[in-house]
Amino acid sequence: MAFKRLFIDSDVQLDLLLNREPFHFHSQVLLLESFKNGIILNTSALIIANINYILSKQVGSKTSREKITDLIKTIKVLPLESDIVDMALASDFADFEDAMQFFIAVRYSCDAIITRNIKDYKHSTIPVLTPEQFLRQL
């Protein structure tokens, strides 16, 4: 499958921003390979808010905002509209937040969701891959 647009979940972004091992390497290579292959990386406004919350607790508010400012230069931030909330509420997803991410990814024609929590997306109708699995398919 040719991937043109990926939806990047928060865990992958946090691995990258916090240098979380052993996951940082694959997240970093995913970013580099996406650029080389012309793949558009996407995330949601909700994920950015969640990342800021987690990052600011670990590295402080100023550093968190600097890291996010750099991140959104490389990853497009997709909006969260109210009908996405309605779809997530009515879905079979166990995790409400993951349901919202799925519906955002579908709305904006993402070819796959990249996450370390594949099991959370068992109702996904688009491929869900870890960074490592995605890199193997490139």
Q: What is the second-level CATH architecture of the domain 5-137?
A: 3-Layer(aba) Sandwich (3.40)
| Domain ranges (residues) in the chain | 5-137
Cα angle 21, 128, 23 (rounded to 5 degrees) comes to 5
Task: Please give the pLDDT value at position 133.
Answer: 97
**pLDDT digit string (tens) for the chain, length 138 residues:** 789 999 999 999 999 999 999 999 999 999 999 999 999 999 999 999 999 999 999 999 999 999 999 999 999 999 999 999 999 999 999 999 999 999 999 999 999 999 999 999 999 999 999 999 999 998
Judge residue 87's burial from the number of C-beta atoms within 10 Å of its C-beta, 0-12 exposed, 13-18 middle, 19 or more buried.
Answer: middle
The sign of the torsion formed by the CA atoms of 109, 48, 134, 118 equals: negative
> Coil, strand or helix: which one is 116?
coil
Task: Please give the pLDDT value at position 72.
Answer: 96
Task: Please give the pLDDT value at position 2.
Answer: 86
Task: Please give the pLDDT value at position 27.
Answer: 96
